[in-house]
Amino acid sequence: MAKTFFDGVNAVYLINLVTSPLIFITLVLLLLFTVFRRQSGESLKALARTFSEIKVGDVSLTFQKLEERVAVAESKAEGLQEQLDALSVDRTELDAPLDLFDANADPRDLDELASDLRPIAATLADPAAYEADLAPGSPEAKVFGAAIVARAQPKALFARPLIGQIDYLAGDAKLRGFRLKVVYRVVMALEMVLRTDNRLSRRKLTAEVRLGATGALQALAANPRCAADDAAAGTRGIGTRIRRTLALA
């Protein structure tokens, strides 16, 4: 009598294969997926209600535990978001101390004010609100505050406004009457924006924006007040910061 496909070793092999825990679980999961795939968003909960556990040999799947872990993860994410929201501040909390800005203050007082504003600027919920404060013609105090925000949160959206402000200041021999400390802060902010963008695998700042930054910084370096500061302070002058920023553009 001729042997059939299910005789001997072949039959044993097939039985072992089908009854293998991993194969059986795979088949069960495939069946469950087919049953519940048309249900939107409730598949996991439906599985948890239908099967609390599938166990074959030493392998088990507990849907209830899986659902609990998902719930815990969601709860932690919500808690983290609440903490971040609590840490965020609005514009009024920065503008209040910024009112202390004095264009005639000692340079060390301006540095101290900047140090006080920096941690507030870093937690602003909407830093983009300060983009307009960098527009040409904005009051010196607003430009000072916006530059601190842009340095604390160096987003690409600040690049064009900072470049525009630098170009505007450089266009006047007296830097529109701005303190060199304020101009220095604007350059520092652009440096941080460029440095941050350079670290990205896919840069956001276009060649056009970078070319604009180069032109504005070169014009600022040639400004008589900046040149005089370099002559008086040497490597501590504003020219050193300008050159360092130029290297990033």
Q: For the segment 48-88, what is each residue's pLDDT rounded down to a tens digit?
A: 555 455 554 554 555 555 556 656 666 555 555 544 444 45
| HSE of 53, CA atoms in CB hemisphere, 13 A | 8
Q: Are residues 42 and 127 in the same domain?
A: no
Average pLDDT over residues 125-135: 94
**Nearest Cα to 207, choosing from 196, 190, 220, 194?**
194
Give the bridge partners for 33, in sequence order.
Answer: none
Q: Are residues 46 and 105 in the same domain?
A: no
Residue-range definition of the domain harbouring residue 11: 1-55
Q: Are residues 140 and 39 in the same domain?
A: no
pLDDT score recorded for residue 99: 87
Q: Which residues contact 191 (CB under 8 A, 6 or more apart)?
A: 241, 244, 245, 248
Q: Are residues 104 and 10 in the same domain?
A: no
Domain count, the chain: 2
Give a yes or no: residue 105 inside a domain: yes
Confidence of residue 121 (pLDDT cuts 50, 70, 90): very high
- pLDDT tens-digit series, residues 16-49: 555 556 556 666 566 655 555 555 445 555 555 5
Q: Which two tokens stand for residue 71?
A: 């719930």
Q: Are residues 14 and 135 in the same domain?
A: no
Average pLDDT over residues 203-224: 98
Sign of CA dihedral 160, 166, 172, 177: positive
